[in-house]
Chains A and B, each alone.
Chain A
Amino acid sequence: MDVKHDPRVMMSLATVYALTQQTKAAYKLAQTALHIYPRKKDAIARMYLEIELLQIYALTDNNDAFEQLRSSIMAQPSLLSRNWLKLDPVWQNISHKADK
């Protein structure tokens, strides 16, 4: 587990920060993780990281950032689907808000 270099681990830690109200630290670490894997380098790894960041936005109730990233992910080949967004409790509150 390499917190300094492994973007998967960084995103996991960013999620911990998001849930402990260290929102700024969470976003910063998540963005650093994304920076390591630009889409051109690894579109699949990037997709997972983006979905995890989307989860962080959902957990921190950041509607605008959530909506912007959601649209961006959905515009690309991705595992994220409308049904997943509809059924998984992690997205439910925020995606309902976004719908309104």
Chain B
Amino acid sequence: MSEYQFADYLFNSKNGTLFKAGKTTNLRAKNAQLLFLLLTSDNQLCSKETLYSEIWGDIVVQESSLSKSINELRIILGDSAKNPVFIKTWPKKGYQFLATVNQVESKQLPESMMKKTWLWIFAVFAIISGLYFSYGIFSTQQTVNDNSAKDFYLLGLDYQSRSEDKSYYFKALKQYQQAVEVNSEYANAWAQLSIIQSIIYSKAFDKTDKRAKASKRAAIKSLELQPDLALGHYALASWHYLISRDHQKALQIIKNAEHDSALATDVQLFRAAILRRQGDFDKSLAIMNSAFIENPRTASLADSLAITYLMIGQYDSAIALLEKARLFARERSQDTARLDYRSALVLYFKDANLISLLNAINTIVLPENQPHILLFNIFEPAYQATLSAKAVSQDHIFENQNQVYPLSLLQAINLHLQDPQSRNKKVLLAKAETTIKNGCKA
């Protein structure tokens, strides 16, 4: 049971959607989690501590994050803080959900409402053409009889599209795994299982050989089941791009995905990303611009274009595109944290707007390896705040696709800039050397 009814609303906690009078709102992940906690609290007071701990876990966020989410929920529900119908504020203590809440069995939902839900989900995926999200739903070649496998698959796509937060990638991974467990001949699910694992590997969320091999196996399995499946070729090309970093091979394989018009934008983006990696920024920009003209309301496209403009120093174009990307992402209730951070970064590069960057670092809940490690000296306090919550007892390693730094080394550089003769600097450097040579086992 994952549906909750209150007043005229129906909330589906499984996919974070809220219905009222035929209108569906897809809640931001954190807002959905918050609403779920309030709805399941039996109208009791939910303390701020509990909400923070349940929603943000160990990540340190600003005091305002919770109230911001509450405000967003109030706006969506048409509620007021002064005269609350749904969410009452207990100053300094927490929040209480006031309305009567009923749990509803999925099968009790009116059929019309169920149809609307799926139509809405289909519509969302139809417009999201960022990276391969739309393909699986519209593929007519793949006949999947097992509906529950398809449900897992769709939910996986949903998680994958919502946020770049690590937890969402692993949630999506789990759904794809379940999809292939239920139906081992589901070629699209095998392909997505491969793609998500390549992303997880490349983002250093799990950079093990096991993960790399599992990703390749899943892509091959997908192509064994359906040799002409464009998404399968896309998955294999992604493996070569993100894991083996063999760009030529990736470009060669992606050609096999060209025949599917549903993947056209994704294939273009894939090529543009590799061309950028190969240093051909002009061609990469031309391809992305052309894709953006065809799909003007796609956040990931606007984001990719913005990064390229950032690198060629066209900050105004980058800022304008990031603004659009944030707007499109918000329209689809996708997490905008990384886009917010990126906008602040561009402002910093353009106008030396350090305050904006520091605010972004402090207010946005960023995965620990997202900020540019080389900017550590500028926003070191923000890093420290993130780390203190994790009670780092051993050296911590910041790692992303392009950089690897132990925390001890970053701290040593910081100390060196303040006092080159610092004794602590030497201790930290010894620690850093051990960490680097032994991995995380320092």
A interface residue numbers (CB < 8 A to B): 1, 3, 6, 8-9, 12-13, 15-16, 19-20, 39-45, 47-48, 51-52, 55, 59, 76-79, 81, 83-84, 86-90
Known: A79-B349, A81-B349, A88-B378. A19 touches B429 (CB 8 A): yes
Tell which of A16, A40, A52 touches B279, judged by Cβ atoms closer than 8 Å: A40
CB neighbours of A77 from chain B (8 A): 279, 281, 308, 311-313
Residue B402 interfacial (CB < 8 Å): yes
B interface residue numbers (CB < 8 A to A): 245, 247, 276-279, 281, 308, 310-313, 348-352, 354, 372, 374-375, 377-378, 397, 399, 401-406, 409, 412-413, 416-417, 425-426, 429, 432-433, 435-440
CB neighbours of A1 from chain B (8 A): 397, 404, 435-440
User: Shortest beta-carbon distance, B158 to chain A, in Å?
Assistant: 30
A1, A6, A15, A48: which has the most chain B beta carbons within 10 Å? A1
Tell which of A45, A81, A87 touches B402, judged by Cβ atoms closer than 8 Å: A45
Q: Which 5 pairs across A and B sit closest by C-beta, in order of nearness?
A: A43-B279, A83-B352, A48-B402, A1-B439, A77-B311
CB neighbours of A19 from chain B (8 A): 412-413, 416, 425, 429
Residue of B nearest to A54 (CB): B374
Per the bound structure, the CA–CA distance linking A12 and B410 in Å amounts to: 10
Could you give 19 example pairs across A and B, Cβ below 8 Å?
A1-B397, A1-B435, A1-B437, A3-B437, A12-B403, A12-B404, A16-B412, A19-B416, A20-B426, A40-B278, A44-B402, A47-B311, A48-B403, A55-B413, A77-B308, A77-B311, A81-B313, A87-B348, A90-B413
Interface contact B433-A16, CB-CB below 8 Å: yes
Per the bound structure, the CA–CA distance linking A52 and B404 in Å amounts to: 11
CB neighbours of A6 from chain B (8 A): 404
Tell which of A8, A43, A44, A79 touches B372, judged by Cβ atoms closer than 8 Å: A79
CB neighbours of B397 from chain A (8 A): 1
Residue of A nearest to B285 (CB): A77
Interface contact A83-B348, CB-CB below 8 Å: yes
Interface contact A59-B416, CB-CB below 8 Å: yes
* 19 additional contacts (CB under 8 A) given A19-B413, A43-B276: A1-B404, A6-B404, A9-B436, A12-B436, A16-B409, A16-B432, A16-B436, A19-B416, A39-B279, A40-B278, A42-B245, A59-B416, A78-B311, A81-B350, A84-B348, A86-B352, A87-B348, A88-B375, A90-B377
Per the bound structure, the CA–CA distance linking A9 and B373 in Å amounts to: 13
Tell which of A48, A51, A88 touches B377, judged by Cβ atoms closer than 8 Å: A88
Interface contact A44-B413, CB-CB below 8 Å: no
